């Protein structure tokens, strides 16, 4: 087993990306870094947006820095994972992948300086939009297929293809990353798979896979089938209370398609989610990658040109709710890891304090008669407690508006009782089980926006998510008007 010192010093394959990364690693150290905001977190690492500064000049304006804690790596026996990730990154030379710019180290940490993808994880866009259109699903599924075909051509099987490991550039082009679980032909150690079972093929979960990349790549085809299912439905095909129940479903290939699932896409998913790897569409005995690319679902998709195309429209119709990467005041960010993290923590604490002050001030002075008159408020609260069965979910707050709405996630919809209250709060309840299911987070108009689509359908856009709501009574305008009124009441000082 290699040490973390070997991780930092090994150059990897003798390719152009590897040579460039090795040269940069000799040129820069952690004191050349300016850390921006945190953009991700793993078992033993944290990812930051950053700049690389040399002699007072910015040489890389925006990069992602994956900071790995060496003690955690050794404690979790994850050196093989780190070695595998670095080896794969140094071998890969393709536009569809996150690029390794350089590596650094100090006494406590390893640093992987990588391509920064400002649009974030593909998973966050599935959650935000609910699901993707056929055009978007076809495009991104096609890019994943090309990415895995390229990996196979250089002797790599990713083994952890999932929306969480796909990242989007500013132009919404896809980059595949996170190679810690990869199988690399000729590499001395293949890490044990420790990822989520939602996208893992049965032979991986049962540890029965044998052979090299010329056979094992079918695990990535299985994962692409899972991704396509999720792109169109909003959820992965295998779901359960815990990882064990998910694994049982995957091994049994037990899943169901929601109503209205595209029939051509359904055929492709069905042919990819096959238990026996040799029987999977795209396996050596079933035509390889060309057979998958020839499926009817991909009709008209120009394979070989996707990386240079403009992706189909994916962003919501409203302007982006939050562009935090535009708010970093780089001129005042200190160099080095320790100072940078300290500044980030202070900024978060200050922001939290200001938010709490604003909410406290708002909740005490709502300009509605019922709130301004204590006796009237108490009378209404007692009346609500006696007459409204949903009062127990409202934290003693008065209900301003309530009604049944269908909360949609992709092709799935759940009927929920929505409760708009002072506070402000927007709760939603499973009325059959009389169980609180969640709460929509509140903020000012900069980070929370309301969009009417039809008389029935409206969206609530918050940071990293869009709630798609459907009112069977066709009162979307009334809901939006009330929501905006409450927002103005509590966040009137927001720009």
Name, in order, each residue with C-beta under 8 angstroms of 23's C-beta and a sequence gap of 6 or more.
none
What is the spatial distance between Cα 292 and Cα 227, in angstroms, rounded to a whole number?
14
* Residue among 80, 160, 178, 471 flagged as catalytic: 160
Any known ligand binding at 66?
yes
**Which H helix or E strand runs over 235?**
none
Classify 152 as helix, strand or coil.
Answer: helix
For residues 52, 54, 59 and 63, what is the CA-based torsion angle, rounded to 10 degrees? -10
Taking the C-alpha atoms of residue 376 and residue 16, their distance in angstroms, rounded to an integer, is: 74
CA dist 394 → 192, 443, 448 (Å): 47, 18, 21
Burial of residue 375 (CB within 10 Å: 0-12, 13-18, 19+) is exposed
Cis bond upstream, residue 304 (ω within 30): no
The H or E element containing residue 461 is: strand 457-462
* Count, residues in the chain: 495
Residue 210 burial by Cβ neighbours in a 10 Å radius (0-12, 13-18, 19+): exposed
Q: Is beta strand 425-430 parallel, antiparallel or unpaired with respect to 183-184?
A: unpaired
- Assign 3-class secondary structure to 15-60: CHHHHHHHHHHHHCCHHHEEEEEEEEECCCEEEEEEEEEECCEEEE
CA angle 217, 221, 227 (to 5 degrees): 140
Catalytic, 80? Answer: no
274: DSSP letter: -
Whose tokens are 């002072």? That residue is 422
User: Strands, DSSP E only, in 126-165?
Assistant: 156-157
CA distances from 124 to 23, 102, 128, 464 (A): 34, 27, 6, 6
Residue numbers in the known binding site are 66
The catalytic residue positions are 160
Q: Which residues are annotated as a binding site for ATP?
A: 66
């Amino acid at each position: 087993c290699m040490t973390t010192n070997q991780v930092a010093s090994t150059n990897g394959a003798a390719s152009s990306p590897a040579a460039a990364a090795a040269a940069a690693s000799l040129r820069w150290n952690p004191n050349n870094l300016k850390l921006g905001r945190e953009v991700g977190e793993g078992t033993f690492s944290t990812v930051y947006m950053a700049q690389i500064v040399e002699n007072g000049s910015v040489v890389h304006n925006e990069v992602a820095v994956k900071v790995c804690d060496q003690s955690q790596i050794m404690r979790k026996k994850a050196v093989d994972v780190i070695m595998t990730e670095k080896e794969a990154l140094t071998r890969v030379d393709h536009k569809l992948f996150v690029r390794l710019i350089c590596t650094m180290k100090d006494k406590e940490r390893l640093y992987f300086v990588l391509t920064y993808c400002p649009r974030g994880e593909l998973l966050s866009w599935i959650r935000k939009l609910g699901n993707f259109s056929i055009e978007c699903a076809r495009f991104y599924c096609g890019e994943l297929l090309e990415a895995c075909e390229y990996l196979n051509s250089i002797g790599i099987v990713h083994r952890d293809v999932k929306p969480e490991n796909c990242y989007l550039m500013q132009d919404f082009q896809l980059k595949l990353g996170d190679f810690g679980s990869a199988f690399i032909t000729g590499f001395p150690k293949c890490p044990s798979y420790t990822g989520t079972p939602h996208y893992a093929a049965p032979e991986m979960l049962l540890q029965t896979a044998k052979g090299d990349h010329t056979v094992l790549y079918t695990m990535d085809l299985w994962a692409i089938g899972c991704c396509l299912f999720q792109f169109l439905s909003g959820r992965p095909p295998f779901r359960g209370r815990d990882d064990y129940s998910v694994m049982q479903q995957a091994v049994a290939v037990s899943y169901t398609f929601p109503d209205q699932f595209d029939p051509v896409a359904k055929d492709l998913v069905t042919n990819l989610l096959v238990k026996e790897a040799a029987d999977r569409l795209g396996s050596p005995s079933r035509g390889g990658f060309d057979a998958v690319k020839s499926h009817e679902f991909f009709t008209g998709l120009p394979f070989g040109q996707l990386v240079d195309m403009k992706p189909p429209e994916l962003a919501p119709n409203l302007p982006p709710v939050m562009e935090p990467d535009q708010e970093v005041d780089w001129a005042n960010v200190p160099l080095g890891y320790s100072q940078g993290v300290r500044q980030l923590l202070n900024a978060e604490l200050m922001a939290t304090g200001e938010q709490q002050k604003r909410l406290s001030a708002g909740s005490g002075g709502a300009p509605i008669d019922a709130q301004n008159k204590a006796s009237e408020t108490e009378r209404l609260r007692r009346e609500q407690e006696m007459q409204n069965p949903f009062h127990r979910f409202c934290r003693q707050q008065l209900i301003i508006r309530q009604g049944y709405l269908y909360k949609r996630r992709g092709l799935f919809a759940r009927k929920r009782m929505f409760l708009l209250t002072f506070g402000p709060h927007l709760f939603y309840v499973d009325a059959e089980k009389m169980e609180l299911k969640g709460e929509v987070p509140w903020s000012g108009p900069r980070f929370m926006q309301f969009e009417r689509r039809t008389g029935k359908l409206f969206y609530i856009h918050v940071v990293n998510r869009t709630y798609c709501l459907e009112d069977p009574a066709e009162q979307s305008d009334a809901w939006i008007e009330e929501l905006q009124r409450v927002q103005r009441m509590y966040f009137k000082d927001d720009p």
